[in-house]
Amino acid sequence: MTSTRLTLATTSNAPQPTGSNQHTTTINMPAPKKVYVQRQSAIEPKGSVRSTFDALTSPENRAVVTSIAAFGVCLHLCAAP
């Protein structure tokens, strides 16, 4: 890992014990990291059929889908002559 060295120099009007009016501070900073951003146009929205299928087959909706299917089967069997 590489680092960037930053040197700050400040001047002061106040008298310094060494007779100099300049103070230097050195800070070692880590090198900037690369950030990769994906373009918005590359992300395609799901179609209505795909999003409906995903909603029906998701684990948290399994009980609801099963009960509706069982109701439909019972309704079909009761209506048959």
60 within some domain: yes
- 39, 14 Cβ separation under 8 angstroms: no
Tell me, what's the pLDDT at 46? 79
pLDDT given at position 28: 76
pLDDT for the residue numbered 78 = 93
- Structural domain containing residue 52: 46-79
Residue 35 lies in a domain: no
User: What per-residue confidence (pLDDT) applies to 32?
Assistant: 79
Q: Is residue 26 part of a domain?
A: no
pTM of the entire structure? 0.40
Q: Which residues of 14-44 are buried (b: 16+ CB within 10 A; e: fewer)?
A: eeeeeeeeeeeeeeeeeeeeeeeeeeeeeee
8 A C-beta contact, residue 1 and residue 31: yes
Looking at the 3D structure of the chain, how many domains does it have?
1
pLDDT of residue 14: 54
Q: Is residue 74 part of a domain?
A: yes
Q: What is the mean pLDDT of each run of 10 residues along the chain (81 residues)?
A: 56 55 68 74 76 90 94 92 70
pLDDT the model gives residue 21: 55
